[in-house]
Amino acid sequence: MAGRAEALPAPGHGARQGIDTALVGMLLFIASEIMFFAGLFGAYFNIRAEHTVWPPQGFELDLGLAAVLTVILVSSSFTMQYAVSCIRKGDRTGMVRAMTVTVILGVIFLCGQLYDYASLGFGISSGVYGTLFFTMTGFHGAHVLGGVIGMSVVLLRGINGQFSARHHTAVEAVSIYWHFVDVVWIGLFSTLYLLR
């Protein structure tokens, strides 16, 4: 008979070596999110291929604002990674500071996006280009919002003294998610603004 205790991993915790179970869950979730956005990008390129004039007449985007927002979101990935490296070393104060900056950058991005929406000359119902633009950036924005909320929760837990060099799965998980949101934006920015 095998040893008894070793055969009984507690649910929800990495009983075996390797990546933490929660992180495996997050990575799998990201995989499904990638496929979700793949569906949106697929729709974009499918419809784009059907049109000879693209974007159709009368759809002007604010490249300058989008470029600034891109810089903001990409920098937030770096501050996020800095927060992770702090907590890996056990530096909770550094993590809280870097995470605060990340949350603020995320909020600035969202505000900039809303400003952009308000000032654009078209809406979701003004033809297929408007539908694509607002759907793709809108779903991305919703993910940014989700990330900001998730980071805020982690931040509050950090302020309350949780997390250490050994136990900080939530920080790792939220950082993976945030990098993913960032990468999606880079894809969106390239597709919608650069490859016009």
Interface contacts to other proteins, rule CB under 8 A: 1-2, 4-12, 14-16, 18, 21, 24-25, 28-29, 31-40, 42-43, 46-47, 50-51, 56, 123-125, 127-132, 135, 139
Would you put residue 174 in left (φ > 0), alpha (ψ -120 to 50) or beta?
alpha
Helix (H, G, I), strand (E, B) or coil at 31: helix
Whether the link from the prior residue into 9 is cis, omega within 30° of 0, is no
CB nearer to other proteins: give 76 or 177: 177
Buried b (16+ CB within 10 A) or exposed e, 170-189: bbbbbbbbbbbbbebbebbb
Identity of the residue, 5 or 118, whose beta carbon is nearer to other proteins in the bound complex = 5
Q: Between 57 and 119, whose beta carbon lies closer to other proteins?
A: 57
Supply the minimum distance, in Å, between the C-beta of residue 51 and other proteins: 7
In this complex, which beta carbon is closest to other proteins, that of residue 16 or of residue 166? 16
User: How far, in Å, CA of 155 to CA of 172, rounded?
Assistant: 12
We find the least distance from the C-beta atom of residue 191 to other proteins, in angstroms, to be 15
